[in-house]
Amino acid sequence: MRRPRVCSGDPSKKRSSTSPYGTTTSVAMIEHGIQLVADYIEDYWEEMWFIDMLNQLLKYSDENKGKFDIVAAM
């Protein structure tokens, strides 16, 4: 989906130097996503059977988030 111009910096510009698709992120959005995952785990931990996912969730750190593909996919 095309990104609204208002999300690309100066809304008066027709084109942005960044990709016109997808969305950008912010610290607040990342923290919100992490909180959603934490809430999900708290509610459904007994139903989680994928060992690799559980291991990645236990070891996850924001500094090394590139090593945690399963967590990012959540």
With vertex at residue 7, the alpha carbon angle to CA 19 and CA 71, rounded to the nearest 5 degrees, is: 70
Residue 72 has pLDDT above 70, yes or no: yes
Q: Does the pTM exceed 0.75?
A: no
- SS3 at position 70: helix
CA dist 40 and 16 (Å) reads: 36
In tens, the pLDDT along 5-40 reads 666 555 566 655 556 677 677 788 888 888 988 899
Domain-wise residue ranges, the chain: 5-73
